[in-house]
A and B are shown apart, each in its own frame.
Chain A
Amino acid sequence: MRRALVIALCTAAVAAAACERSDRPAQDDRAELGSAHGDPVPDTARANPDSAVIAANARLEPGALGSVAAAPVDLWKGPGDQPFEVTVRTGDPASNTSRRFGTIARRTSLRERAADLGQYPCTSCHLGRRMVLADDRVADAHQNITVSHPVQTGGACSTCHSPDNVELLALKSGEQATLDHTYRLCAQCHFSQAESWAAGAHGKRLDGWQGRRVVMGCADCHDPHKPALEPRIPFRAPQIERTRGRGR
């Protein structure tokens, strides 16, 4: 059994090296950490962890770990040019809330989208550039939105929202993006954050560390009109003293 696995991994290693990783420099020192202390790491993994891991990851079907509703990310690639996905706005209709976050069952202080959906779909008031709303009610609309961002543009709606169809985002290139793909809009200014986001160093990842990668979109955590997180009282402090050092 074990020998068969080793042979399979060897084959995968050769194939992987031949087709895509031939230009890769030697494995860095950190990879050695795993093989310390005589742990039973397979010989192939010791010799070339890259290929063994790639082979292991390739066996995982997307979505094997959970049920996060997600869409492929446009234009951006993750590390190693792997495609990844972003959570989508349309949630489980049965759950009666705007979305479910996969396997996350506990309160995680994610922004509640239901309030936003009270004014959704936009076509109930906006029809193209025309307003389908009594004049005296126009002033009441969007009272819940305090625009503090982007300050540079004076907070004009049309900086980000397409005037022809407010359910779409207007990009500088003249293209339009859906509300699920807010990162395309945000990345126009916040390109370093977008790079980190695509690589997994910014933004919350869902599902798992292996196989399918799902990341939350910008507007899942940040209110686009007021992006900083709200301060709040933290969860309770530890009661047990540290065994060393001063303080606790």
Chain B
Amino acid sequence: MSADEKPAAASDASVFQKRVDRRKALGILLGGVTAGAGVASACSPLSAMPDEEKEAKLLAWREYIKGNYRTMTEEERAETIARLERLAKVKQGTDITIQSTGAQPGVVFGYAFNISKCQGFRNCIEACINENNLDRKAATQYIRIFEMEDGVIDLDHADATFEHEVPAEGHFYLGTQCFQCADPPCVKVCPVGATWQEPDGITVVDYDWCIGCRYCMAACPYWARRFNWSEPVVPREEVNTNQHYLGNRARKAGVVEKCHFCIHRTRKGQLPACAEACPTGARVFGNLLDPNSEIRWVLANKRVFRLKEDLKTEPRFWYFTD
């Protein structure tokens, strides 16, 4: 794979250049093995395995040596997606579809959260878990709803673990998730280029490139990223089969994940699951570049603020009051 063949989006391809070459060599080697399958099966331990297990092993091998999503050609992307879909079928028996839908031109996503409206029901969290195949075993959640006393915004002392009936007298609720910052510190610190900002403003993670160093978690001022300490567990019947390569597809142990504004939904014009699930209408989502969008109306007509604005990360997530 030469530099000329790469898609335009692969702006920091140079970072991967050496590794890509080595990977290509490995790929050719493996290609030889799979092409001469008869020879391989005759003289390798694979021959003792059932066919499906063997196929899964070979697919996993091929997956292991693929490139970073940004440096892949459209062809390579289609290939890896086909492999991942087949792997899910062989391993779990689920028929998933993985999109590689790109960003729409002229779209930058923004979010607004009405702190006058939120009642702390956490329906958004429930919808997020189901939509994004979040690890049920570790009870991973992307969203936090903080309960604070009226009149004070102090996240350090705010409680996100309340279990009592809500809304509590004299309190208000403020939800956080990934703010999709315009100048994201998490992207700057990644040593391998496994996380980046897409043209529509969504910061995504290539789960197959992440090395799990967790620098991004330390860099994020908003506690937005989550680490998989173990292989995520999602019961087969609860898997959301509508997936995106950069979104809610299966993660593995030792990689970081985070909210991606439901990239598999929003890139097709739908609302994120949290906005659709909110029973209070506290969540407003839209295109910041569309002057007629709901989000632009909120920014122009309501009192808005962002968290830790002094850090200049430029979150695309605003809070507002009625």
Contact = CB atoms under 8 A, between A and B. Distances in A.
B interface SS class: loop
A199 B301 contact: yes
Interface in A34-48: 34, 36-42, 45
A234 B120 contact: yes
A210 B288 contact: no
**Which of B144, B182, B292 counts the most chain A CB atoms within 10 A?**
B292
A242 B223 CA distance: 6
A243 B290 contact: no
Interface in B122-173: 122-123, 125-127, 130, 138-141, 144-145, 155-167
A interface SS class: loop
B291 A80 contact: yes
Nearest to B320: A201
A201 to B, nearest CB: 5
Interface in A222-248: 229, 231-240, 242-248
Contact of A200 (B11, B223, B294): B294
Given A33-B182, A221-B281, A238-B161, A65 B199 contact: no
A34 B201 contact: yes
Given A34-B108, A229-B280, A57 B297 contact: no
B298 interface: yes
Contacts of B159: 247-248
Contacts, number: 226
Interface in A75-107: 78-80, 82, 103-104, 106
Given A33-B201, A106-B130, A206-B276, A52 B160 contact: no
Contacts of A163: none
A232 B279 CA distance: 12
A247 B157 contact: yes
Contacts of A202: 114, 117, 281, 322
Nearest to B109: A209
A110 interface: yes
B199 A41 contact: yes
Contact of A49 (B106, B140, B141, B320): B106
A45 B106 CA distance: 5
A39 B290 contact: no
Contacts of B226: 240
Interface string B99-129: 0000011111010101001011111011100
Contact of A106 (B127, B145, B160): B127
Given A209-B294, A243-B223, A39 B217 contact: no
A103 B270 contact: yes
A57 B286 CA distance: 12
A235 B122 contact: yes
Contact of B165 (A41, A208, A231, A242): A231
A56 B104 contact: yes
A109 B276 CA distance: 11
B277 interface: yes
Given A53-B290, A108-B276, A207-B271, A36 B125 contact: no
A221 B104 CA distance: 33
Contact of B121 (A109, A110, A245): A109
A19 to B, nearest CB: 15
29 contacts: A31-B288, A34-B288, A36-B182, A39-B197, A39-B199, A40-B199, A45-B289, A56-B106, A60-B269, A80-B291, A201-B112, A205-B275, A207-B270, A207-B271, A209-B266, A209-B287, A210-B269, A211-B269, A229-B279, A232-B166, A233-B165, A234-B120, A234-B163, A236-B163, A239-B138, A240-B138, A247-B156, A247-B159, A247-B161
Which 3 A-B pairs give the minimum distances between C-beta atoms?
A: A200-B294, A80-B292, A34-B108
